[in-house]
């Protein structure tokens, strides 16, 4: 089979060399990949012949399109996943051929219109990473500001056979809303929430391309650029699902990609955490009304820190977020879920004053708390936009949420995300993660690290999560009902990771009780259930404040 395939492909290679890049509507452009350029891409083979792409999610799981593996569940012995491969006919140095253990289609996959076109493949052994030629890749929300690459061993013209060499090319995500069409697809086949529409681009340094037959399942990848180091980190944003034809010059080449961020919790609960190394924050996407008190602090319209609503006029954030910043570049956005689409309940507030705690130390980040006073009243509906009371921290699972990066050095996130952490370092003789003693004070800060003992995915806050609240459920001992209360503000961690460096330091709100009340006044009473709140919280709060 392999030699037969070689002949086919040599023929095509000769043809394409002779004619160069033919610009007509059947050719996929692009270029050959180099060793280590796409260490996360896999080839899915049936009887040793490539038929679909995929990407490495962690050492046991590979993500592909449901349309690739639908109907192959019963004959999986003939299926393999090949990682570390460049050339499909010769054995590459880093190639590992993995046997398939389980195939799981997304339960709502619709094979007629190819929506929810995503599947997970579990391999029977651990993929061996060298992190250069074989690596996993994180996934993220798509960034409409930049181009993406798509790569695979697909055909390079409509109706061709699979390619010997791994090829890639650039496409750009076409920003659309639910009412716009994607290329020549009928409206029923494109869902803005669950898919990405992308076509060939010429605004990238890479050759424009269109994926083709046997590229289904291949990842759509973007570079996330760390604004400080300017280092780019590739992240997967989609999976190639379908296009009408392999062309990059006509509307029929516009492709539909499964939007990975829409399958965040399914991926997490089916395939577990990402491979644990020191680059990751886990967590999940927030739903409407889940965290009505969280605020995004923006600088020139761009999210850079979190905060929480203290009252209709005040928002609490970290001092490190706002110290030295001119007020006129700052705004506070409340009632927001997505930073790119205007949410129904979103209100953008103008900043009147910023008060940094007088004892804030910008070297050790001690007393890292600030109050932002707004020029107008936040309008509460108490469901999507609400304030939150604060309390002394308990030793129990807590949530932290924000629009921070989802990995060390990443950009801010489009969607509000959250994750669970657990307070640790509970007595003065214990250290907090890898922080020196001078940077952790048990009286004024809380030390908390990722947890797996919560019903929520464990998480680690990351860049641009500073100022976000640490929230616990205060349980009514009578009704056992939980009321969320803020107990801290994320101040710092060493890295966004699950390891010791991911342990974070949070400003302990209860310590700053009198400063908060003297500066911003009392918190309001919750009218929707004022009696409930008072009955449950007053004794605890009074005890705390006496
Ligand atoms: C894969 O094949 C094995 C036998 O080769 C079978 O026991 C197993 O159920 C198959 N898995 C799936 C998900 O179909
Ligand atoms: C798009 O997909 C989402 C999630 O599956 C679904 O809730 C929504 O109804 C879909 N929209 C359309 C127009 O089908
Ligand atoms: C797009 O990606 C390129 C390459 O990584 C990078 O240099 C550029 O800054 C990015 N542009 C934006 C707007 O993110
Ligand atoms: C840090 O604090 C010092 C001393 O209080 C101050 O002079 C300096 O401006 C502060 N740095 C920033 C970035 O605000
Ligand atoms: C503090 O915690 C350490 C480690 O758990 C423990 O060995 C020590 O006895 C504790 N000290 C006090 C004063 O509770
Ligand atoms: C911790 O902070 C409190 C309050 O600011 C202070 O009184 C105490 O001396 C600090 N502890 C250490 C070890 O620095």
Residues forming beta bridges with residue 120, ordered by sequence position: 63, 104
Which residue minimizes the CA distance to atom 9 of ligand 1? 74
Report the separation in Å between the CA atom of 280 and the middle of ligand 3, taken as the mean of its atom positions.
21
Of the candidates 138, 106, 124, the one whose C-alpha atom is nearest the C-alpha of residue 241 is: 106
Report the separation in Å between the CA atom of 300 and the middle of ligand 4, taken as the mean of its atom positions.
22
Every domain of the chain with CATH number 2.40.10.10 lies at 1-280, 398-516
Spatial distance between the Cα atoms of 74 and 459, rounded to a whole number of angstroms: 37
Mean pLDDT of the chain: 83
Residue 298's pLDDT band, with cuts at 50, 70 and 90, is: very high
Beta strand 41-46 pairing with 96-105: unpaired
Residue with tokens 């995503």: 118
Site to probe by mutation for ligand 5, drawn from 424, 426, 427 as the one with most ligand atoms within 8 Å of Cβ, is 427
Q: Which residue has the higher pLDDT, 17 or 74?
A: 74
In the predicted structure, residue 93 carries a pLDDT above the cut 70? yes
- Report the residue count for the chain: 546
Residues forming beta bridges with residue 196, ordered by sequence position: 257
Spatial distance between the Cα atoms of 358 and 319, rounded to a whole number of angstroms: 10
Return the minimum-mean-pLDDT range out of 445-449, 535-539, 542-546.
542-546
In the predicted structure, residue 101 carries a pLDDT above the cut 50? yes
Report the separation in Å between the CA atom of 424 and the middle of ligand 5, taken as the mean of its atom positions.
12
Report the separation in Å between the CA atom of 329 and the middle of ligand 4, taken as the mean of its atom positions.
19
Spatial distance between the Cα atoms of 365 and 430, rounded to a whole number of angstroms: 19
Which residue minimizes the CA distance to atom 1 of ligand 4? 362
Report the separation in Å between the CA atom of 191 and the middle of ligand 2, taken as the mean of its atom positions.
6
Query: What is the average per-residue pLDDT within 480-501?
Result: 83
Return the minimum-mean-pLDDT range out of 8-12, 178-182, 290-294, 509-513.
8-12
Report the separation in Å between the CA atom of 428 and the middle of ligand 5, taken as the mean of its atom positions.
8
Residue 19's pLDDT band, with cuts at 50, 70 and 90, is: very low
Asked if 108 and 194 touch (Cβ cutoff 8 Å), the reply is no
Which residue minimizes the CA distance to atom 13 of ligand 1? 102
Query: What is the average per-residue pLDDT within 363-392?
Result: 94
Spatial distance between the Cα atoms of 301 and 329, rounded to a whole number of angstroms: 8
In the predicted structure, residue 501 carries a pLDDT above the cut 80? no
Whether 364 lines ligand 6, by a CB cut-off of 6 Å, is no
Whether 444 lines ligand 6, by a CB cut-off of 6 Å, is yes
1-280 domain in CATH 2.40.10.10? yes
pLDDT of residue 3: 30
DSSP-derived 3-state class of residue 271: helix
Residue 5's pLDDT band, with cuts at 50, 70 and 90, is: very low
Relative to the CA of 437, which ligand 6 atom is closest?
13
Q: Which residues does a 6 A CB cutoff place in the pocket of ligand 5? A: 427, 429-430
In the predicted structure, residue 117 carries a pLDDT above the cut 80? yes
pLDDT of residue 22: 33
Residues forming beta bridges with residue 371, ordered by sequence position: 316, 355
Asked if 349 and 332 touch (Cβ cutoff 8 Å), the reply is yes
Q: Which residues does a 6 A CB cutoff place in the pocket of ligand 2? A: 178, 191, 193-194
pLDDT of residue 146: 82
In the predicted structure, residue 100 carries a pLDDT above the cut 70? yes
Report the separation in Å between the CA atom of 146 and the middle of ligand 3, taken as the mean of its atom positions.
6
Site to probe by mutation for ligand 1, drawn from 73, 103, 120 as the one with most ligand atoms within 8 Å of Cβ, is 73
Q: Which residues does a 6 A CB cutoff place in the pocket of ligand 1? A: 73-74, 76-77, 102-103
Residue 458's pLDDT band, with cuts at 50, 70 and 90, is: confident
pLDDT of residue 249: 75
Asked if 55 and 84 touch (Cβ cutoff 8 Å), the reply is no
Whether 324 lines ligand 4, by a CB cut-off of 6 Å, is yes
Spatial distance between the Cα atoms of 88 and 41, rounded to a whole number of angstroms: 13
Phi-psi region at 305: left, alpha or beta (left = phi > 0; alpha = psi -120 to 50): beta
Convert the pLDDT of each residue in 319-336 to its tens digit. Answer: 999 999 999 999 999 999
Query: What is the average per-residue pLDDT within 9-35?
Result: 44
Give, for 198, the enclosing helix (H) or strand (E): strand 195-200
Query: Could you tell me which residues come within 8 angstroms of residue 344 by beta carbon, excluding any fewer than 6 positions away?
Result: 335, 384
Task: Output b/e per residue, 2-34; b: 16+ Cβ within 10 A.
Answer: eeebeeebeebeeeeeeeeeeeebbbbbbbebe
Return the minimum-mean-pLDDT range out of 99-108, 177-186, 252-261, 354-363.
177-186
CATH number for the domain running over 398-516: 2.40.10.10
Convert the pLDDT of each residue in 404-443 to its tens digit. Answer: 887 777 788 888 988 888 898 788 788 898 899 999 999 9
Convert the pLDDT of each residue in 251-292 to its tens digit. Answer: 888 999 999 988 987 887 677 654 433 223 556 778 888 899
Residue 176's pLDDT band, with cuts at 50, 70 and 90, is: low
Spatial distance between the Cα atoms of 134 and 130, rounded to a whole number of angstroms: 6
Query: What is the average per-residue pLDDT within 88-113?
Result: 93
Which residue minimizes the CA distance to atom 1 of ligand 1? 76
In the predicted structure, residue 195 carries a pLDDT above the cut 90? yes
The pTM for the full model equals 0.54
Site to probe by mutation for ligand 4, drawn from 323, 354, 366, 466 as the one with most ligand atoms within 8 Å of Cβ, is 323
Q: Which residue has the higher pLDDT, 10 or 213?
A: 213
pLDDT of residue 173: 83
pLDDT of residue 282: 54
pLDDT of residue 367: 98
Spatial distance between the Cα atoms of 149 and 235, rounded to a whole number of angstroms: 10
Residue 119's pLDDT band, with cuts at 50, 70 and 90, is: very high
Which residue minimizes the CA distance to atom 13 of ligand 6? 441
Report the separation in Å between the CA atom of 363 and the middle of ligand 2, taken as the mean of its atom positions.
48
């Amino acid at each position: 089979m392999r030699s037969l395939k070689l002949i086919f492909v040599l023929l095509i290679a000769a043809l394409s060399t002779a004619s160069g890049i033919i610009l007509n509507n059947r050719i996929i452009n692009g270029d050959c990949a180099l060793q280590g350029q796409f260490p996360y891409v896999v080839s899915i083979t049936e009887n040793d012949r490539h038929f679909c792409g995929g990407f490495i999610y962690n050492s046991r799981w590979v993500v592909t399109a449901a349309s690739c593996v639908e109907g192959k569940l019963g004959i999986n012995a003939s299926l393999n996943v090949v990682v570390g491969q460049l050339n499909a006919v010769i054995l590459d140095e880093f190639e590992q051929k993995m046997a398939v253990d389980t195939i799981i289609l997304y339960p709502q996959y619709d094979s007629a219109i190819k929506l929810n076109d995503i599947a997970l493949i579990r391999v029977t052994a651990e993929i061996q990473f060298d992190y250069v030629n074989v690596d996993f890749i994180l996934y993220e929300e798509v960034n409409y500001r930049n181009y993406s690459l798509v790569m695979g061993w697909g055909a390079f013209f409509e109706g061709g056979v699979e390619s010997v060499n791994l090829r890639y090319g650039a496409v750009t995500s076409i920003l659309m809303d639910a009412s716009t069409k994607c290329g020549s697809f009928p409206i029923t086949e494109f869902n803005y929430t669950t898919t990405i529409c992308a076509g060939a681009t010429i605004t990238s340094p890479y050759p424009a391309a269109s994926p083709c037959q046997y590229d289904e399942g291949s990842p759509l990848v973007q570079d996330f650029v760390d604004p400080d180091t300017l280092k780019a980190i590739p992240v997967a944003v989609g999976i190639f699902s379908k296009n009408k034809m392999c062309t990059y010059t006509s509307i029929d080449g516009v492709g539909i990609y499964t939007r990975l961020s829409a399958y965040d919790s399914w991926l997490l609960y089916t395939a577990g955490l990402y491979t644990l190394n020191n680059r990751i924050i886990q967590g999940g996407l927030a739903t409407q009304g889940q965290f009505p008190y969280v605020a995004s602090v923006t600088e020139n319209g761009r999210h850079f820190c979190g905060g929480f609503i203290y009252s209709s006029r005040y928002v609490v954030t970290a001092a490190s977020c706002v110290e030295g910043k001119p007020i006129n570049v700052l705004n506070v956005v409340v009632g927001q879920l997505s930073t790119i689409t205007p949410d129904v309940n979103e209100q953008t507030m103008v900043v009147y004053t910023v008060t940094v705690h007088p004892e804030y130390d910008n070297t050790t980040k001690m007393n890292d708390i600030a109050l932002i006073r707004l020029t107008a009243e936040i309008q509460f509906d108490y469901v999507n936009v609400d304030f939150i009371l604060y309390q002394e921290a308990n030793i129990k699972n807590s949530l932290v949420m924000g629009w921070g990066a989802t990995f060390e050095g990443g950009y801010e996130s489009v969607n509000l995300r959250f994750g669970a952490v657990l307070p640790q370092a509970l007595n003065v003789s214990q250290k907090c993660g890898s922080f020196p003693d001078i940077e952790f004070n048990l009286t004024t800060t809380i030390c908390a690290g990722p947890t797996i003992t919560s019903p929520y995915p464990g998480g680690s806050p990351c860049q641009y999560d500073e100022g976000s609240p640490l929230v616990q459920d205060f349980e009514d001992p009578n009704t056992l009902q939980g009321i969320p209360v803020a107990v801290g503000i994320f101040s710092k961690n060493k890295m966004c990771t699950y390891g010791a460096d991911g342990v974070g330091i949070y400003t302990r709100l209860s310590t700053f009780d009198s400063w908060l009340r003297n500066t911003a006044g009392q918190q309001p009473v919750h009218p929707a259930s004022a009696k409930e709140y008072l009955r449950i919280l007053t004794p605890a709060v009074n005890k705390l404040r006496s």
